[in-house]
Amino acid sequence: MVEISHAPVGQAPWLTLLGWGEGGTQGLTAASRAALESAEVVFGARRHLRLLPPLNAEVNEWPVPFAYGIPALLDQRGRRVVMLVSNDPFWFGAGSTLAQHLSADEWLALPAPSTFSLAAARLGWPLERCNCLGLHAKPLTRMRPYLHTGRRLLVLVRDGEAVAELASLVSRFGFADSQLTVLEALGGDNERVRHCRADANLPEDIAHPVAVGLEVAGHGPALPLTPGLPDHFFDHDGQITKQSIRAITLAALAPMPGERLWDIGTGSGSIAIEWLLAHADNQAVGFEQNAERAARARSNAGNLGVDWLEVKEGSAPDVLNDTPLPDAVFIGGGLSQALLDDLWHRLPEGVRIVANAVTLESEALLAHWHQQAGGELMRLELANATPIGTRRGWKASYPIVQWRGVR
């Protein structure tokens, strides 16, 4: 039997997270109006407070950065408090941040239509088929994986300069034919919707708050959805797990939503980056001795829209200390008996481990390890057709020996 907890009878939540749009009180429900009118204290950003009607409540402007306002809010426990939150508090809003500091019976949320909903309604786009990205405080390169011809993106951005940066990135990635719609102050008296191509001259008077609707068009290189991106997507110095081997390796690592990878000897970062591309909630830490390669891995991650890749510089196993434990480990460089022994003692049961070897010495090490720890051992040999005079023949790559197992 499932037990459901309830707030004590008669004890109402002291905090109301009230969805607030550019229309101010015009679009409020009866419940939202009642909460606002009965409030003793109201918090909100400056642009929200300017739309408030006269109230009997104490009104406080929320500071920047956002986290600075949380202690003052929590000090109001026991009073009737309303916090004005942009539209839907739990869709790229402040609700999820605040809920971490509160018990479930302390707060009530009264959402308004999200900016994504308002934008889709203006454009006539089916919201469930749009990619919705909140990038007002995140790098705009995070839209890179979604740039596929024919797709529609709804993107929340910081201001007019960010709109110009977004349009420039779209063009640089090869999608200059994309149709861009700038949507300002949706739901308010100053609402404005304007259309142009991504490579056109943008208006200079774009006002906050602003969203962008993007209909992707062009012949730029889109990122495939299956593992094994073509090697040209990565800047590298030769230290890269090549496309075909990378696809097999990622299949062995088997990323699942929310999991963390350790990529030891990350090189160009290709394995860790594709792990992150598999799902937006995935995490990855790369470990690399060479500072230049570490910087290159970070750059590759940013260019491919997964800038949250963490790269630690140093040699394993020493550099592994003080790093949250992973769900999977890939060893692409620095393979040694000491490293394997360390991982076997360090990691909890159930962690998936994949190691690739190309030299005779590392092959022998994996063969011995397979006998000792079990798992699977396989030899991967690939050859490509290349010219031999006027004919063709097979040119073999170095064979890869791969061990895969579970701690």
pLDDT in tens, 228-273: 999 999 999 988 899 999 999 999 999 999 999 999 999 999 999 9
Q: Is the pLDDT of residue 1 over 80?
A: no
| Same-domain check for residues 248 and 379 | yes
pLDDT at 3: 39
What is the residue-averaged pLDDT of the chain?
94
The residue among 12, 78, 17, 6 whose CA lies nearest residue 43 is 17
Q: How far apart are CA 377 and CA 380, in angstroms?
A: 10
**For the domain that residue 257 is a member of, what is the CATH number?**
3.40.50.150
User: Residue 262 falls within a domain, yes or no?
Assistant: yes
pLDDT digits (tens, 9 = 90+) for 37-95: 999 999 999 989 999 999 999 999 999 999 999 999 999 999 999 999 999 999 988 99
| Same-domain check for residues 173 and 262 | no
| Same-domain check for residues 317 and 381 | yes
| Same-domain check for residues 312 and 342 | yes
Binned at pLDDT 50, 70 and 90, residue 11 comes out as confident
Take residue 402 and report the two structure tokens written for it: 């791969």
Q: Which domain holds residue 152?
A: 116-216
| Same-domain check for residues 278 and 367 | yes
| Same-domain check for residues 173 and 306 | no
pLDDT at 286: 97
Q: Is the pLDDT of residue 180 over 80?
A: yes
The contacts of residue 137 (CB under 8 Å, 6+ apart) are: 158
Q: Is the pLDDT of residue 293 over 90?
A: yes
User: Residue 140 falls within a domain, yes or no?
Assistant: yes
What is the DSSP secondary-structure string of 232-263? GGS--SS-S--HHHHHHHHHHH---TT-EEEE
| Same-domain check for residues 402 and 354 | yes
| Same-domain check for residues 348 and 393 | yes
pLDDT digits (tens, 9 = 90+) for 140-175: 999 999 999 999 999 999 999 999 999 999 999 999
For the chain, what is the domain count? 3
Q: How far apart are CA 183 and CA 177, in angstroms?
A: 19
User: Residue 105 falls within a domain, yes or no?
Assistant: yes
Q: Is the pLDDT of residue 186 over 70?
A: yes
| Same-domain check for residues 199 and 320 | no
**For the domain that residue 57 is a member of, what is the CATH number?**
3.40.1010.10
pLDDT digits (tens, 9 = 90+) for 93-124: 899 999 999 999 999 999 999 999 999 999 99
State the alpha helices, DSSP H only, in 24-157: 30-37, 46-49, 70-74, 95-99, 115-123
* Mean pLDDT to the nearest integer, 326-348: 95
Binned at pLDDT 50, 70 and 90, residue 323 comes out as very high
pTM flag (> 0.85) = yes
User: Residue 224 falls within a domain, yes or no?
Assistant: no
